[in-house]
A and B are shown apart, each in its own frame.
Chain A
Amino acid sequence: MNAEKNHEKAQASIIMIVLVLIIFAGLALFLLSFAKTMSQEDYMSTYVNSLLLSIMRTDTGYLDSDCRLVSDAISCSFFSTGLVCRDSEITCDSLAYRKVEEYINRTIKKGFRYFFSVTPEGFVARSSSGEPIKFEIGDSKLKSEKTEKWSANQRIMKATATGQYSLKVQLVIAVKK
């Protein structure tokens, strides 16, 4: 009698184990199929790179070669700070700030925030007052925030009498909280 009962218990246990294993395997496969698609990551990476490149190549509206494109105006802010764009009263650094902000705000997707920065590589650019030049626009918290974000980098090269210099331009975007 006891042996029979044990026998039945054992059979029931085996069936339960098999059933549970199948259910877990099925669940795992089902959940895996919902993993994030690569397309979205590819898209966001392409988007932020396109945004940065497009902004840099856009005309500011001024024909002076130091102020013509956004990248020219940014370069001028570091290498010829305070230079006034020809046939105007605006300096190239003010123009660079204004245009970068204007173009990003016009173009960026709704619901996104950004941080745009320009950093000299291997040298320090100083303003007329001796202060190191800082070029940052947007939400500076994004720089160090641990959140899902996408970034793009470009370089502006400048050859001067004293050598070749480069500015690193970075754009970081993230969804608004």
Chain B
Amino acid sequence: MKTKNIKGQYSVLEYVFLSLFIIAIIIGLMFFLTIWSSIQFGAESMKTEWDRALWLGQYVQNIPLLVKETGMFDDGKLTALASMGPSKACEYLESLAGPDFFMELRILDGNETQINCTWQNYPDCNYWEFCKNTGKKKKKFYTLPVNVYRRIGFKLQETTTGRTDIGILKAGVY
């Protein structure tokens, strides 16, 4: 009688445990789905930042304020912007491209030395940088080949004429 009683109790307990176990699996599945959605959302937002960096690299090549035509910067416009001072120039660019934006442009003229373009040394220079803030955290950027139109390209006897050089644009976000 006692054995039958214990057996009966075990049966009931087994049944209860089984039900609890299945409920636990279902709740676990619900948690998993929620956490997975959050991970996906996190990955999505990081992908969005990389997308923004790529779009900025393309967008800045098409801003009439800086370019002669798509993919071809105007060195006079870049130098004019740079000559306003780093903070004013960055303020202008951020009003167009959004916050935490930066860009660098280097003409690949075969010159090993990088020469920052200023009012004084224009056009004998090959580099511009805007919103470069070394104090900030990690950057997401892309590099793209571009052209740079040099207004004072060829200095001939009777006239000065333009020249198109090749360069590398580095643009992105902090």
Binding site for B on A (CB under 8 A): 8, 11, 15, 18-19, 22, 26, 29-30, 33, 37-39, 42-43, 46-47, 50-51, 53-55, 57-59, 63, 69, 103, 106-107, 109
What is the chain B residue whose CB lies nearest that of A30? B36
Q: In angstroms, how far is the closest chain A Cβ from the Cβ of B59?
A: 12
Binding site for A on B (CB under 8 A): 14, 18, 21-22, 25, 28-29, 32, 36, 39-40, 43, 47, 50-51, 54, 57-58, 71-72, 108, 110, 142-147, 153-154, 161, 163-168
Are A39 and B71 within 8 A (Cβ)? no
Q: In angstroms, how far is the closest chain A Cβ from the Cβ of B13?
A: 13
Are A109 and B143 within 8 A (Cβ)? yes
Are B47 and A18 within 8 A (Cβ)? no
Q: Can you spell out 18 A-B residue pairs with CB atoms less than 8 angstroms apart?
A: A8-B14, A19-B25, A22-B28, A33-B36, A33-B40, A37-B50, A39-B50, A42-B54, A43-B54, A43-B142, A46-B144, A54-B145, A54-B147, A54-B166, A57-B71, A57-B72, A59-B163, A59-B165
Are B47 and A103 within 8 A (Cβ)? no
Contacts of B145 in A (CB 8 A): 47, 50-51, 54-55, 107
State A3–B39 Cα separation when bound (angstroms).
46
State A30–B33 Cα separation when bound (angstroms).
11
State A39–B140 Cα separation when bound (angstroms).
12
Q: In angstroms, how far is the closest chain A Cβ from the Cβ of B155?
A: 12
Are A46 and B58 within 8 A (Cβ)? yes
Contacts of A50 in B (CB 8 A): 71, 144-146
Q: In angstroms, how far is the closest chain A Cβ from the Cβ of B174?
A: 17
Are B166 and A106 within 8 A (Cβ)? yes
Are B18 and A39 within 8 A (Cβ)? no
Are A18 and B25 within 8 A (Cβ)? yes
Q: A50-B146, A58-B164 are in contact. List 18 more A-B contacts (CB 8 A).
A: A8-B14, A11-B14, A11-B18, A22-B28, A26-B32, A33-B36, A33-B40, A43-B54, A43-B142, A46-B57, A47-B143, A47-B144, A50-B144, A51-B145, A54-B71, A54-B146, A59-B164, A107-B168
Are B166 and A39 within 8 A (Cβ)? no
Contacts of B57 in A (CB 8 A): 46
What is the chain A residue whose CB lies nearest that of B57? A46
State A69–B149 Cα separation when bound (angstroms).
12
Contacts of A26 in B (CB 8 A): 32
Select which of B40, B54, B143, B164 is within 8 A of A39 by beta carbon: B54
State A29–B72 Cα separation when bound (angstroms).
44
What is the chain A residue whose CB lies nearest that of B50? A39
